[in-house]
Structure 1
Amino acid sequence: MLGQILRVALAFVGVIVGAGFASGQEIMQYFVGFGLNGMWGVAIAAVVMSVMALIILQLGSYFRATEHGRVFDRIANPTFSRLLDLGVLITLFSTGFVMFAGAGSNLNQQWGWPVWVGALIMVALVLAAGFLDVDKVTTVIGAITPFIIVFITVACLYVIFFVDRGPVDELNAAALEVGSTMPHWSVAAVNYVGFNLMVAVSMAIVIGGSMFSPQVAGRGGLLGGLLLSALIAVSAVTLFLAVETVGDDELPMLTLINDVHPALGQVMAIAVYGMIFNTALGMFYAFAKRLSVNRPERFRLWYFGSVGVGFLLSFFGFRNLVGYVYPILGYIGLLLIAIMLVAWVRERSRIAAESDRRLRLRDLWLAGREDEFMAEVDASNLDETQIRTAVRDGR
Structure 2
Amino acid sequence: MIIQILRVAFAFVGIIIGAGFASGQEVMQYFVSFGVDGIWGVIVSAVIMAVMALIILQLGSYFNAGEHGEVFRRVSHPVFSKILDIGVVVTLFSTGFVMFAGAGSNLNQQWGLPLWIGSVLMVFLVIAAGMLDVDKVTTVIGAITPFIIVFLTIASIYTLMKGDFSPVEQLDAAALAVGTTLPHWAVAAVNYVGFNLMVAVSMAVVIGGSMFNPRVAGRGGLVGGVILGFLIIISALTLFAAVEEVGQDDMPMLTIINNLSPVAGQVMAVVIYGMIFNTALGMFYALGRRLTAKNPERFRLVYVITVVVGFVLSFVGFKNLVGYVYPVLGYIGLLLIAVMMVAWVRGRVRIYNESDRRMRIADLLQIGHDGALSEAEQAVLRQEIQDSNLDEEQIKAAVKK
After TM superposition, the score normalised by the length of structure 2 is: 0.88
Hey, what does 1:4 align to over in structure 2? 4
| CA gap 1:104/1:138 in 2 versus in 1, 3 angstroms | farther
C-alpha distance after superposition, 1:306-359 (max 9, x if no partner): 445434432321111101101111112111111111111221222233233334
Say which SS state the counterpart of residue 389 (structure 2) adopts: coil
Paired amino acid for 1:382: L
Contact 1:104/1:116 (<8 A) preserved? yes
Task: Identify the match of residue 378 of structure 2 among 343, 348, 370.
Answer: 370
Contact 2:107/2:269 (<8 A) preserved? yes
Paired amino acid for 1:200: A
Query: Shift in Å at residue 298 of structure 1?
Result: 6.3
Is the counterpart of residue 57 in structure 1 residue 54 in structure 2?
no
Hey, what does 2:237 align to over in structure 1? 237
| CA gap 1:304/1:8 in 2 versus in 1, 3 angstroms | closer
CA-atom RMSD, angstroms? 2.7
After TM superposition, the score normalised by the length of structure 1 is: 0.89
Gaps in structure 1 of 5+ consecutive residues: none
1:1-395 to structure 2, matched below 5 A, reads 1-123=1-123, 126=126, 129=128, 133=132, 143-162=143-162, 164-294=164-294, 302-303=302-303, 305-362=305-362, 366=367, 368=374, 369-390=377-398, 393=400
| CA gap 1:268/1:346 in 2 versus in 1, 3 angstroms | same
Contact 2:58/2:215 (<8 A) preserved? yes
In structure 2, how many angstroms separate the alpha carbons of the residues matched to 1:212 and 1:252? 40
Contact 2:191/2:331 (<8 A) preserved? yes
In structure 1, how many angstroms separate the alpha carbons of the residues matched to 2:263 and 2:166? 28
In structure 2, how many angstroms separate the alpha carbons of the residues matched to 1:212 and 1:299? 24
Paired amino acid for 1:243: V
In structure 1, how many angstroms separate the alpha carbons of the residues matched to 2:131 and 2:219? 35
Gaps in structure 2 of 5+ consecutive residues: 368-372
Say which SS state the counterpart of residue 255 (structure 2) adopts: helix
In structure 2, how many angstroms separate the alpha carbons of the residues matched to 1:53 and 1:137? 19
Paired amino acid for 1:222: L
| CA gap 1:284/1:378 in 2 versus in 1, 3 angstroms | closer
| CA gap 1:371/1:291 in 2 versus in 1, 3 angstroms | closer
| CA gap 1:300/1:251 in 2 versus in 1, 3 angstroms | same
In structure 2, how many angstroms separate the alpha carbons of the residues matched to 1:193 and 1:339? 14
Contact 2:92/2:284 (<8 A) preserved? yes
| CA gap 1:75/1:151 in 2 versus in 1, 3 angstroms | same
In structure 2, how many angstroms separate the alpha carbons of the residues matched to 1:102 and 1:388? 42
Identical aligned residues as a percent:
67
Say which SS state the counterpart of residue 66 (structure 1) adopts: coil
In structure 2, how many angstroms separate the alpha carbons of the residues matched to 1:211 and 1:285? 18
**Structure 1 segments of 4+ aligned residues over 6 angstroms from their partners:** 134-138
Query: Shift in Å at residue 295 of structure 1?
Result: 5.5
In structure 1, how many angstroms separate the alpha carbons of the residues matched to 2:13 and 2:34? 25
Query: Shift in Å at residue 110 of structure 1?
Result: 1.3
Query: Shift in Å at residue 90 of structure 1?
Result: 0.5
C-alpha distance after superposition, 1:150-205 (max 9, x if no partner): 11112112202236211111111111111221111111111111111111112211
